[in-house]
């Protein structure tokens, strides 16, 4: 059985989803990332008369913002949450790299019209190329590499991979694909199969919303907790209804500015911001239960603000002062101000009898 690996340029795919959304018949088009690699494998097999394929691994390469205007904290966190979902729910191998926004807003339209700033992404294409070549050189790594790409920069990679005896399948979007990939004569000898268009697979890869009754776990919720939603829910994470999410957004903006901003604009300090997803150990040092936030003390004594929506594996009611946690840092302390935590994971190493709530 031939072994297949899927390599996805996540930045390119994310930037071009609008083309698929326009062709889709469903509002709010989203890709079902659990179905995507399996659909590619099936399409490749059926179009080319191949036998069963062993889908051994799916890689996605992308980026996330750092050093951005604090107003965009939620937007930045959603990108990291997306990568976490791919890893934990769908078992992708994800490699993500930081983009420095120089204290500016993440979206171009949110910046001043005369601002010449253009964020620069680094490493995504190099990381994809390195991984594809590495597994091509490893014995029994894969027989076929399916590359979900559109930029022409990858053609030397495909040539070298084929020279190592591996087969290449290119998967792309019609409106954003270098002509050399769709060339049926394949003058540059880049691929072993006709190109696969995601445009032709929309129904197979689209996430279909399903209505379900879910209990809202927000401490701010009023009335009956059972609500109906079509939201794509993460495994094991508490659900918050739309009303409570709106309340959280208002809370977080107020609290993050009050407790973590270095200035009136709430910008993150460039030199004090971590550029990776390093996890740190610490303990919950204070909680304000009725307002849904608290503070973590790192092992070096530094303090970090966190909100209940930053919890990844526990509900707010389970958190207490003294609880052991692991967390990422989105902003380090400046002067007397607390920093800001990102993903906060309860490690459950602290004796529950010692945990209290304030």
CA distances from 171 to 145, 168, 193 (A): 10, 10, 10
CATH class of 242-354: mainly beta
Q: What is the pLDDT of residue 202?
A: 95
Helices 242-260, 73-90: inter-axial angle, 10-degree rounding: 120
17-73 pLDDT, tens digit each:
999 999 997 777 899 999 999 999 999 999 999 999 999 999 999 998 888 877 787
Arithmetic mean of pLDDT, 111-134: 91
Place of tokens 């004594």: 301
> Please, are residues 288 and 255 in contact by the beta-carbon 8 Å criterion?
no
Parallel, antiparallel or unpaired: strands 280-288 and 196-197: unpaired
For 173-189, write each residue's pLDDT tens digit: 999 999 999 999 999 99
Is the confidence at residue 251, as pLDDT, over 80?
no
Q: Could you tell me the pLDDT band of residue 270, with boundaries at 50, 70 and 90?
A: very low
Q: Could you say which architecture CATH assigns to the domain 2-205? A: 3-Layer(aba) Sandwich (3.40)
260 pLDDT above the threshold of 90: no
Q: Please state, for a pLDDT cut of 70, what percent of the chain lies above it.
A: 86
3 state DSSP class of 68: coil
Q: Which residue has the higher pLDDT, 226 or 131?
A: 131
Q: Rounded to whole angstroms, how far apart are CA atoms 318 and 7?
A: 39
- What letters, b where the CB count within 10 A reaches 16 and e where it falls short, cover 86-116? beebbebebbbbbbbbebbbbeeeeeeeeee
Each residue's pLDDT tens digit, 7-31: 999 999 999 999 999 999 777 789 9
CB 305 within 8 A of CB 332: no
The pLDDT tens digits of the residues spanning 284-315 come to 998 877 667 889 999 998 888 888 878 888 87
Residue 264 pLDDT level (bands cut at 50, 70, 90): very low
For residues 71 and 89, what is the distance between their CA atoms, to the nearest angstrom? 29
For the chain, domain boundaries: 2-205, 242-354
């Amino acid at each position: 059985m031939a072994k297949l690996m899927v390599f996805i340029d996540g930045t390119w795919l994310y930037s071009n989803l609008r083309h698929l959304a326009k062709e889709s018949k469903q509002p709010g088009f989203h890709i079902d990332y659990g179905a995507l690699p399996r659909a590619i494998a099936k399409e490749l097999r059926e179009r080319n008369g191949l036998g069963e394929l062993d889908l051994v691994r799916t890689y996605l390469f992308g980026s996330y913002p750092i050093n951005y205007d604090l107003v965009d904290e939620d937007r930045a966190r959603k990108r990291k949450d997306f990568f976490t979902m791919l890893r934990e729910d769908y078992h992708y191998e994800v490699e993500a790299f930081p983009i420095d926004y120089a204290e500016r807003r993440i979206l171009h339209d949110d910046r001043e019209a005369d601002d010449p700033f253009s964020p620069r992404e680094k490493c995504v294409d190099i990381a994809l190329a390195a991984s594809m070549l590495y597994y091509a050189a490893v014995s029994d790594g894969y027989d076929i590499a399916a590359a979900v790409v559109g930029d022409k920069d990858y053609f030397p990679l495909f040539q070298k991979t084929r020279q190592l005896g591996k087969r290449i399948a290119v998967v792309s979007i019609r409106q954003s694909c270098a002509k050399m990939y769709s060339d049926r004569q394949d003058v540059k000898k880049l691929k072993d199969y006709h190109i696969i268009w995601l445009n032709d697979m929309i129904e197979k890869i689209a996430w279909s919303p399903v209505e379900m009754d879910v209990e809202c776990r927000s401490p701010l919720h009023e009335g009956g907790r059972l609500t109906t939603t079509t939201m794509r829910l993460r495994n094991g994470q508490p659900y918050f209804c739309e009303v409570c999410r709106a309340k959280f957004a208002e809370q977080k903006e107020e609290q993050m500015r009050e407790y973590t901003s270095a200035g009136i604009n709430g910008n993150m300090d460039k030199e004090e911001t971590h550029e990776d997803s390093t996890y740190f150990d610490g303990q919950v040092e204070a909680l304000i239960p009725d307002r849904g936030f608290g503070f973590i003390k790192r092992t070096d004594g530094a303090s970090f603000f966190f909100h209940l929506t930053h919890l990844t594996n526990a509900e707010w009611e389970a958190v207490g002062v003294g609880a052991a946690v692991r967390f990422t840092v989105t902003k380090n302390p400046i002067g007397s101000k607390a920093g800001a935590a990102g993903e906060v994971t309860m490690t459950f190493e602290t004796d529950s009898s010692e945990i209290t709530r304030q």
